[in-house]
């Protein structure tokens, strides 16, 4: 379904092209004037992109392996080297991300406006709830990408992103970026207003929509980042249900998969109970992640994999597992030890012209899952100093990944390992703003959670968010050039808004 005025609204928000109000539907045949049309419209209220590629390359999950290895995509180097104002407007670029996020937001706003115009708007309460969640989600991805992480000390002044509540905009209007704290408050207001209206029976394929559990997981993550740990625990618990251990991903089939492709398809299937919201993206990232020799220069190396992600040691080592067996088929060494790729993030090619084999690469990921939700809750428990409960959640997570239900873990297991874990890879200094650690146990258990999150989300970019949130400094090695040192709360951690956006008058991120 092609919604012409949605496309125009997005272009007007960030990129000049028209010079008048978009105050009427260009094609009357696509007026959204029924509940059924609103349902169809909401399919486009989910972003067609995700910042996973940029986030991964900007994090400490990737390293420059030198010019002897190929990298045929300039955008990969642009992200790794923190290059701004890159010319690329392709999939995964800041330009494309901005347009995708605000395109989804504009669609959600149009749905909300259309609901109000119905003869009986109360009949579309479920659609209203989904639209509010989608609007919140689009802004959530935008604030994670183009802003500093939320913190209680500076977020009232840190530049945010425009919180759009209208589908129609003018080209030359100056949009207020507000501040990060205000953006979070608006996101949470939309989440709280939307959740009670949701109706899971409204969807033919629920895992591609905001069901109640997906919305709970989303709310838990936002509240965690916002520092409201009680609400994070409340919503994560709702997402997990009465049997948290029983709803985590069963890694046995994945570890026994005959190929990365099979493991990937099993990972993203809507039939997997752990998947709460699946997001199909127009993205090349899965193509790069499978280990093509053309993209080995900036790699997730064997050293990083062995010490920080899939093959890294943890409390499981004391029980006979050198690394978590559930990732056996997810970390195959590619064309060299300089790029260890993952079956978790793969690609599907959509052919648009059979004769020339032209098409688009899609990368599909579960943006919300029970696997992530239990780690959100574990972190919130740590921050509430409820360490035994945090240890229980972490134990359940490890049991699912280790494919060995006989191994269980208690608080002391985590304290024994993480209190003396490697300081280069695991116990990197934390410099949070507005957070004072209560004791050494809290700090040690937080390292345990961050390690688990790094493993769980490898390839999907959220390691970068954790580096931002906790002020973890790190160095990006650059072959035959000066290394890039990222200090805690480095200004470059907020991706620069696209040149077409600040060229229209919006304030740039400071540098």
The H or E element containing residue 467 is helix 462-469
Instruction: Return the pLDDT at 165.
Output: 94
- Nearest alpha carbon to residue 367 among 276, 443, 292: 276
- Rounded Cα distance between 136 and 108, Å, is 9
- pLDDT band with cut points at 50, 70 and 90 for residue 332: low
Q: How far is CA 78 from CA 72, 399, 413, 428, in A?
A: 12, 38, 41, 26
Give tens-digit pLDDT for 230-250.
999 999 999 999 999 999 998
Q: What is the pLDDT of residues 454-466, one digit of tens each?
A: 999 999 999 999 9
What's the pLDDT score for residue 22?
Answer: 27
For the residues 262-289, what does the mean pLDDT come to?
92
The pTM assigned to this predicted structure is: 0.92
Query: What SS3 state is found at 496?
Result: coil
Taking 70 as the threshold, does the pLDDT of residue 24 lie above it?
no
What is the average per-residue pLDDT within 477-493? 97
Question: According to the model, what pLDDT value does residue 76 have?
Answer: 93
pLDDT in tens, 178-222: 999 999 999 999 999 999 999 999 999 999 999 999 999 999 999
CA dihedral 23, 198, 189, 273 (to 10 degrees): -120
pLDDT band with cut points at 50, 70 and 90 for residue 384: very high
Q: Return the pLDDT at 420.
A: 96
Q: Which of 29-38, 234-243, 251-260, 315-324 has the weakest average pLDDT?
A: 251-260
Cβ distance 118 to 124 under 8 Å? yes
DSSP string, 144-209: HHHSPPP-TTTTTTSB-------S---SSPPPP--BHHHHHHHHHHHHHHHGGG--GGG-SSGGGS
Q: Tokens for 171, please give them.
A: 């080209």
pLDDT in tens, 411-424: 999 999 999 999 99
- Which helix (DSSP H) or strand (DSSP E) does residue 214 occupy? helix 212-226
For residues 139 and 439, what is the distance between their CA atoms, to the nearest angstrom? 35
Tell me the mean pLDDT in the region 248-277. Answer: 88
Residue 478: strand, helix, or coil = coil
Q: In the prediction, which pLDDT does 30 show?
A: 63
pLDDT of residue 169: 53
Look at residue 230 in the predicted model and tell me its pLDDT: 98
Tokens 């990083």, residue located: 304
For 61-94, the pLDDT digits (tens) are 999 999 888 777 899 999 999 998 777 788 999 9
| Alpha-carbon gap, residue 164 to 186, rounded angstroms | 10
Q: Which helix (H) or strand (E) holds 58?
A: helix 52-58
- Lowest mean pLDDT, pick from 283-297, 323-337, 443-457: 323-337
What is the helix, strand, coil percentage profile of the chain, to 5? Answer: 50, 10, 45
* Distance separating alpha carbons of residues 120 and 34, to the nearest angstrom: 10
pLDDT on residue 336? 56
Taking each continuous run of H as one helix and of E as one strand, the counts in the chain are 19, 7
pLDDT at residue 168, as a whole number: 65
What is the structure's pLDDT at 337? 67
Give the pLDDT confidence score for residue 331 in this predicted structure: 53
Q: How crowded is residue 423: how many other Cβ atoms within 10 Å of its Cβ?
A: 9
**464: nearest Cα among 95, 101, 148:** 148
């Amino acid at each position: 379904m092609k919604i012409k005025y949605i496309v125009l609204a997005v272009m007007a928000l960030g990129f000049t092209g028209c010079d008048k109000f978009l105050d009427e539907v260009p094609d009357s045949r696509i007026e959204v004037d029924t509940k059924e049309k609103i349902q169809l419209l909401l399919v486009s209220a989910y972003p067609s992109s995700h910042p996973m590629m940029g986030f991964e390359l900007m994090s400490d999950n990737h390293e420059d392996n030198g010019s002897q290895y190929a990298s045929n995509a300039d955008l990969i180097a642009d992200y790794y080297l923190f290059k701004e104002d890159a010319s690329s407007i392709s999939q995964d670029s800041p330009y494309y991300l901005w347009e995708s996020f605000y395109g989804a937001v504009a669609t959600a706003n149009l749905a909300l406006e259309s609901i109000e115009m119905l003869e009986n708007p109360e009949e579309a309460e479920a659609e209203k709830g989904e639209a509010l969640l989608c609007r919140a989600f689009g802004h959530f991805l935008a604030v994670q990408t183009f802003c500093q992480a939320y913190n209680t000390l500076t977020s009232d002044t840190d530049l945010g992103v425009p919180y759009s509540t209208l589908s129609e905009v003018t080209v030359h209007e100056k949009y207020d970026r507000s501040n990060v704290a205000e953006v979070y408050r608006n996101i949470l207001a939309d989440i709280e207003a939307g959740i009670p209206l949701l109706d899971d029976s409204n969807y033919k394929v629920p895992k591609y929509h905001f069901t109640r559990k997906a919305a709970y997981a989303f709310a838990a993550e936002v509240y965690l980042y916002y520092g409201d740990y009680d609400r994070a625990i409340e919503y994560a618990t709702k997402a997990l249900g009465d049997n948290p251990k029983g709803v985590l991903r069963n890694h046995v089939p994945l570890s026994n998969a005959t190929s990365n492709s099979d493991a990937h398809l099993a990972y993203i299937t809507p039939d997997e109970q752990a998947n709460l919201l699946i997001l199909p993206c127009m993205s090349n990232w899965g193509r790069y992640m499978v280990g093509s020799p053309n993209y080995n220069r900036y790699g997730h190396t064997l050293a990083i994999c062995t010490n920080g992600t899939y093959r890294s040691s943890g409390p499981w080592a004391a029980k006979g597992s050198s690394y978590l067996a559930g990732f056996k088929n997810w970390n195959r060494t590619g064309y060299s030890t300089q790029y260890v790729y993952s079956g978790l993030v793969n690609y599907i090619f959509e052919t648009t012209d059979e004769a020339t084999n032209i098409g688009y690469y899609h990368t599909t990921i579960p943006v919300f899952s029970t696997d992530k939700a239990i780690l959100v809750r574990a972190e919130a428990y740590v921050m509430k100093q409820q360490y035994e409960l945090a240890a229980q959640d972490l134990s359940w997570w490890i049991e699912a990944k280790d494919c060995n239900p006989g191994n269980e873990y208690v608080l002391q297991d985590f304290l024994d390992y993480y209190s003396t874990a490697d300081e280069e890879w695991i116990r990197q200094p934390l410099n949070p703003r507005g957070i004072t650690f209560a004791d050494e146990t809290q700090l040690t258990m937080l390292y345990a959670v961050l390690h688990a999150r790094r493993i769980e989300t490898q390839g999907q970019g959220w390691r970068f968010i954790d580096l931002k949130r906790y002020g973890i400094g790190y160095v990006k090695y650059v072959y035959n050039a000066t290394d890039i040192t990222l200090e805690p709360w480095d200004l470059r951690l907020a991706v620069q808004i696209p040149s077409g956006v600040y060229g229209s008058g919006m304030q740039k991120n400071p540098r």
